[in-house]
Amino acid sequence: MNGSTATVTDRELIELAQLYGIHVTETTVSDLREQVNARLDAGLEALYEYDLDREHPTADPGVRTWHEPAKDPYNALCTVCHVPPTTDASELLSEMELALKDNISVAGVPMTCGSAALEGYVPSTDASVTRRLREGGATITAKANMDAFAVGGRGISFYGQIINPRDTTRGTGGSSGGSAAAVAAGTVDAALGTDTGGSIRMPAAFCGLVGIKPTYGLVPLSGIVENTYSLDHVGPITKTVEDSARVLAAIAGKATDDPASVRAAGHPDYKLGDYVSAVTSPPDASSIRLGVLSSIDAEPISKPVRARYESAIETVQDSGMEVKKREFDELDTVVQVKNAMSYCELAAHWRDGAVAYRRGGVTGSVDASGFTSRLRTGSYELNDFHRSRLLAGSQLIETHHGRHYNRALAVKDALTAELEATLEGIDAIITPTVPHLAPRLDGDEDPDALEDGLGTGRYTKLANVSGLPAVTIPNGQHEGSPVGLQLIGHRFDEAHLLSVAERVGENL
């Protein structure tokens, strides 16, 4: 970003005046335009020439501060900040520095959701997960770049393309690409991302990291800008399974300002596991039973990813784990359910001015009025990718009266029951995390991977639609580009899933 500002035309000036209730007439608009443009032409360069990275020895370490990143070769960060632990913090995350995806509220720190439409918006309170990280002893040191409003998986925002630190010829995917890039680059120890169709697991896989999407409702969504509330999740991206377990232990558990987490706590299978202990004492390989989906044999997976997937299956079998074939032939239907729900909920959220209907009227830490006014005034900044999804959802709601959305909800429940039946008698289902390598920045490889719903999230969406927990772990690489392996586990059994992931990862 720099100090340049856009000048205005007569028409734009009149529209701005109407928006802000400023009286302007046709006879005065030209003179006013010249004056306004003269002020804008003066620029704001001095603000950007000031070195925000200079030492400030008098700064109080307990005070929240923020500034724009000065040096960020991977375009991973939106904002650099210092938000210290609470004064009564535990030792769970002591000395850990975390980045939060820029749709997670941190009081007093700007939040753009990766879009120019929200420039200047500053939340007034922390999200539940922000508060819990600080109570766990973590320091929040950055807000991470992301696809605008967490829509899509291209790793591109109005800040530009996010670069993959593990292979700088490739991107990170998204929408939590900045979170993954910050961890892979060593800028932070861990990061939080959000995941509606794979947005934690896909960039984590592309960057050779661990990323977990918890069971729906295990981690509260209050204070997080929603994409598709019925499918949204928040979880950690880390270098190790143990670090993921540690961060999950800090953020899991119900919050009264998130109805999804309250409902989850009433589920008969609900439990908060001792995630760290489970990972540090994983089960013996001989006791682990894994399932592979027969339908994946015929899937159009890229050769490098298929080779790593088949090698992983052979390796875990050689280590003593049992691998069983399981039938689940509804991957195409899963994608359609996810897309129908996302389009409709996204459009309804926009239409209703961020009113928290699905949250029972509770907005958590997002200031709905301030957020909506900022969003509406900046709506012209929305990219076409986001705009097309909004309009597709509007068409499904207005013309088809929500019929497809209601059908998607019914199919979602049926698919969830079918997948849970597929998991009976095994510890986890294993799939490739993503069916191809990270997209090349020159666009020469897997061009369809840049379009939502055409392959990138084919296996990750399975866990979002069902609400089951899923984790991606590193599964080697191809010519320097990381590959991921996904494990999908039983509802609210993250402790066991992570322990199995630890043991599987040791053998890959």
Interhelix angle 403-422/384-398, nearest 10 degrees: 100
CA 218 and chain centroid, separation? 16
Q: Tell me the two tokens of residue 166.
A: 């593990």
Cα 267 to Cα 409: distance, rounded to the nearest angstrom: 19
Cα 269 to Cα 500: distance, rounded to the nearest angstrom: 19
For the question of residue 143 being annotated catalytic, the response is no
CA 165 and chain centroid, separation? 18
CA 430 and chain centroid, separation? 22
Reply yes or no: is the peptide bond before residue 373 cis, omega within 30 of 0: no
State how beta strands 160-161 and 156-157 pair.
antiparallel
For the question of residue 213 being annotated catalytic, the response is no
Set 101, 143, 412, 461: catalytic member: 101
The sheet that has 322-326: what strands, in order across it? 65-67, 77-83, 139-144, 97-101, 190-195, 233-238, 210-213, 470-478, 481-488, 428-432, 289-293, 322-326
Residue with tokens 């990323």: 211
Q: Which amino acid is at 91?
A: E
Reduced to 3 DSSP states, what percent helix, strand and coil does the chain have, rounded to the nearest 5?
A: 40, 15, 45
**37, containing H or E segment:** helix 29-41
Set 128, 176, 199, 499: catalytic member: 199
Q: Which amino acid is at 102?
A: D
Set 115, 128, 157, 175: catalytic member: 175
Render 419-453 in DSSP notation, one character per residue.
HHHHTTTSSEEEEESSSSPPPBTTS-S-GGGGSTT
For the question of residue 175 being annotated catalytic, the response is yes
Q: Tell me the two tokens of residue 420.
A: 């849970």
Interhelix angle 494-507/241-251, nearest 10 degrees: 170
Cα 369 to Cα 355: distance, rounded to the nearest angstrom: 9
Q: Which residues are catalytic?
A: 101, 175, 199
